[in-house]
């Protein structure tokens, strides 16, 4: 009887198991093997041992730049998107009329295709004709920046534009429901004691929602690692030069433009290791937010 | 004092709303500008000479209708596939005890964290071997094998359904399949709608996966089509791009308005217990 039940359960789960073997688990093993090979899809793959990795980590290798930008972008976009999500969620928790209308405007960029938004950004941040630089000249700023072409600005810009992504909207909603669960009595007590809004935020709000903050920080890291292509590729194409070449773009170029599949696989392995470390962190920290109960 | 505080709050909320909505507004309003106005300075939000020509042009004289059709196919295929498979897979994870359940659930959560760039090269090779490149198959077929994120959402919902229902059905002689199909599925309508909507919006917007697997113009979805259109014209046709972009952003916005409660509820539960 017990055995029969196991069989039935596995029949239900079987689509996922097949999918896992074909599209996730199998490919992860394959990408590790491929990272030790040289392959251009025409000649048969050739085992080259650690060559791809050695090439990647040579001191003059471009990969250092790619890795540096990816980590910079991830770190900055996590700070920006989590901070922005918390800020907007706090605004939506104010006792003012029309919160529902505001929440529509705050969340709607999250459901709009990023590719469409990147076209708007190209116009808005244009050096000569863009509205951002026009506004800057109105407040008498000369030498307005060439946002998308200047290596100094563009790396910051792409990270800041993360406030328009689906993931930031998602975090805003999660923060929003966490904020609604902070006990009202705490605020009332603090107000009687004469605590100002800032004190209340740092002494009551932040400690109460800290598990959710932690959760959002880790998911934001995974999200910016796995969504960077959709924002950066159409916006800058990795340029100017290669200053915004995140690892996702580099994998794409190497695998599907120059057909260096082994090298691209080695990069994918590095990306896998980075996200595995983040996930592990998530797993360890998860005990704080009771997320994995089976 | 109190009044000034509220005034300040409103001002802040309005500024944030403008920042968030501005790019969308810019796309929509620009779609009514003739090309020449894109190079006028200072930049204007609204067109000096309002025109509908851009829409006429992209609807009759570009590949937009084909891109739209392709997007719809990808969106529907993925949504149907994921609803069928994920609802099924989540059932025993939420409501049955079996060996290896913990391991399977842990693996499902773990694969949620793997960026698609990690597995894209082997997947490409697999689909090349199968002869599926440059078709919808590499993009739709995986949906029929349950996406972890959606399995997770279904499981969270199923867990809230009282177990007594299953017990009663079992006494009446129902097997697991009948319990799933006749009891669980009918009362899980909200989660089917939530995932249906989320998946539709996701695949309407998706850029990376079709970018890798599709080359022919005739098979490109809107996201990739609009991108390649912006790259192939001699001068950048901002007028036409903005009309296409507007056509692309309106449906997810409408869908969001219609299914707002479902979307927000679905997202909120993912982050919490």
Report d(CA B44, CA A103) in Å as an integer.
27
Is A129's CB within 8 Å of B39's CB?
yes
Task: Say if residue B172's pLDDT is above 70.
Answer: yes
Main-chain phi, psi angles of B120, to 5 degrees: -65, -35
Q: Over the Cα atoms of chain B, what is R_g?
A: 23
Report d(CA A87, CA A94) in Å as an integer.
11
CA distance B72 to chain A (A): 14
Contacts of A17 in chain B (CB under 8 A): 104
Is A261's CB within 8 Å of B13's CB?
no
Is A24's CB within 8 Å of B268's CB?
no
Task: Say if residue A282's pLDDT is above 80.
Answer: no
Report d(CA B71, CA B210) in Å as an integer.
10
Task: Say if residue B184's pLDDT is above 60.
Answer: yes
Is B115's CB within 8 Å of A275's CB?
yes
* pLDDT-based confidence at residue A142 (cuts at 50, 70, 90): confident
A250 part of contact set with chain B, CB < 8 Å: no
Cross-strand partners of A46: A38
Which 102-131 residues of chain A touch chain B by CB within 8 A? 102, 104-109, 111-117, 119-121, 123-124, 128-131
User: What is the chain A residue with the closest CA to B243?
Assistant: A116
Cβ–Cβ pairs < 8 A, chains A and B: 287
Task: Say if residue B272's pLDDT is above 60.
Answer: no
Is B101's CB within 8 Å of A117's CB?
no
* pLDDT-based confidence at residue A232 (cuts at 50, 70, 90): very high
pLDDT digits (tens, 9 = 90+) for B190-210: 999 999 999 999 999 999 999
What is the complex's ipTM, to 2 decimals? Answer: 0.92
Nearest Cβ partner for A116 among B16, B212, B248 = B248
CA distance B216 to chain A (A): 15
End-to-end Cα, chain A, rounded Å: 23
pLDDT value for A134: 93
pLDDT digits (tens, 9 = 90+) for B202-235: 999 999 999 999 999 999 999 999 999 999 888 8
Q: Which two tokens stand for residue B49?
A: 């000479």
pLDDT digits (tens, 9 = 90+) for A74-116: 999 999 999 999 999 999 998 888 888 999 999 999 999 999 9
Q: How is residue B18 annotated by DSSP?
A: H
Task: Say if residue A228's pLDDT is above 70.
Answer: yes
pLDDT value for A27: 96
Task: Say if residue B189's pLDDT is above 50.
Answer: yes
| Among B2, B223, B271, the residue to mutate for chain A (most A Cβ within 10 A) | B271
Q: Which two tokens stand for residue B231?
A: 């790259």
Is B27's CB within 8 Å of A134's CB?
no
Task: Say if residue A128's pLDDT is above 70.
Answer: yes
pLDDT value for A288: 66
pLDDT value for B4: 79
pLDDT value for A53: 96
User: What is the chain A residue with the closest CA to B215?
Assistant: A256
- Spell out the alpha helix ranges (H) of A125-205: 131-138, 151-160, 166-180, 184-192, 197-200
Q: Which two tokens stand for residue A75?
A: 């770190």
CA angle B246, B116, A159 (to 5 degrees): 60
Query: Are the CB atoms for A244 and A69 separated by under 8 Å?
Result: yes
* pLDDT-based confidence at residue B1 (cuts at 50, 70, 90): low
Q: Exposure pattern of A29-63 as b/e (b: 16+ CB <10 Å)?
A: ebbeebbbbbbeeeeebeebeebbbeebeeeeeeb
Is B23's CB within 8 Å of A292's CB?
no
Task: Say if residue B65's pLDDT is above 80.
Answer: yes
What is the mean predicted confidence (pLDDT) over A133-154?
92
A258 part of contact set with chain B, CB < 8 Å: no
Q: Which two tokens stand for residue B74?
A: 């990808």
Whose CA is closest to B88, among A256, A100, A18, A124? A18
Report d(CA A18, CA A259) in Å as an integer.
28
């Amino acid at each position: 009887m017990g055995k029969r039940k196991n069989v039935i359960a596995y029949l239900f789960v079987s689509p996922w198991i097949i999918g896992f073997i074909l599209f996730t688990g199998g490919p992860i093993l394959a990408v590790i093997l491929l990272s030790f090979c040289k392959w251009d899809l025409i000649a048969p793959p050739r085992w080259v041992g650690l060559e791809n990795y050695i090439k990647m980590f040579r001191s003059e290798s471009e990969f250092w730049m790619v890795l540096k930008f990816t980590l910079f972008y991830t770190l900055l976009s996590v700070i920006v998107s989590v901070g922005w999500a918390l800020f907007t969620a706090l605004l939506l928790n104010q006792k003012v009329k029309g919160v529902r209308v505001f929440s529509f405007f705050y969340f709607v960029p999250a459901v709009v295709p990023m590719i469409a938004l990147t076209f708007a950004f190209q116009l808005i941040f244009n050096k000569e004709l863009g509205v951002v630089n026009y506004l800057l000249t109105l407040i008498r700023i000369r030498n307005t920046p060439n946002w998308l072409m200047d290596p100094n600005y563009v790396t910051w810009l792409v990270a800041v534009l993360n406030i328009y992504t689906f993931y930031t909207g998602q975090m805003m909603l999660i923060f929003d429901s966490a904020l609604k669960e902070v006990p009202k009595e705490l605020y009332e007590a603090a107000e009687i004691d004469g605590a100002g809004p800032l004190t209340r935020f740092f002494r009551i709000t932040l400690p109460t929602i800290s598990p959710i903050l932690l959760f959002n920080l880790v998911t934001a890291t995974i999200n910016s690692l796995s969504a960077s292509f959709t924002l950066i590729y159409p916006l800058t194409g990795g340029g100017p030069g290669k200053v915004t070449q995140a690892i996702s773009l580099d994998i794409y170029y190497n695998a599907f433009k120059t057909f260096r599949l082994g090298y691209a696989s080695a990069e994918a392995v590095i990306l896998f290791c980075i996200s595995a470390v983040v996930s592990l962190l998530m797993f360890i920290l998860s005990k704080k937010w009771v997320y994995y109960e089976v | 004092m109190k009044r000034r505080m509220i005034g300040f709050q409103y001002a802040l909320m309005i500024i944030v709303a403008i920042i968030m909505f501005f790019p969308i507004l810019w796309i929509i309003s620009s779609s009514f500008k003739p090309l020449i106005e894109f190079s006028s300075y200072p930049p204007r939000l609204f067109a000096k000479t309002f025109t509908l020509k851009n829409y006429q042009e992209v609807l009759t004289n570009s590949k937009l209708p084909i891109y739209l059709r392709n997007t719809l196919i990808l969106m529907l295929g993925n949504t149907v596939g994921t609803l069928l498979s994920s609802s099924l897979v989540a059932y025993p994870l939420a409501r049955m005890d079996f060996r290896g359940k913990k391991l399977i659930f842990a693996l499902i959560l773990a694969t949620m964290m793997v960026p698609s760039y990690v597995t894209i090269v082997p997947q490409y090779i697999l689909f090349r071997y199968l002869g599926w490149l440059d078709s919808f198959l590499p993009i739709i077929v995986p949906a029929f094998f349950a996406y972890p994120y959606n399995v997770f959402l279904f499981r969270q919902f199923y867990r809230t359904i009282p177990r007594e229902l299953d017990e009663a059905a079992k006494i009446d002689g129902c097997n697991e399949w009948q319990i799933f199909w006749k009891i669980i599925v009918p009362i899980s309508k909200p989660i089917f709608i939530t995932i249906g909507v989320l998946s539709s919006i996701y695949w309407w917007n998706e850029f990376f996966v079709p970018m890798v697997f599709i080359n022919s113009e005739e098979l490109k979805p809107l996201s990739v089509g609009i991108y390649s259109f912006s790259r192939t014209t001699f001068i950048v046709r901002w007028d036409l791009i903005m009309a296409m972009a507007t056509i692309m952003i309106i449906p997810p916005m409408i869908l969001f308005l219609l299914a707002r409660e479902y979307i927000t509820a679905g997202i909120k539960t993912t982050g919490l217990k």
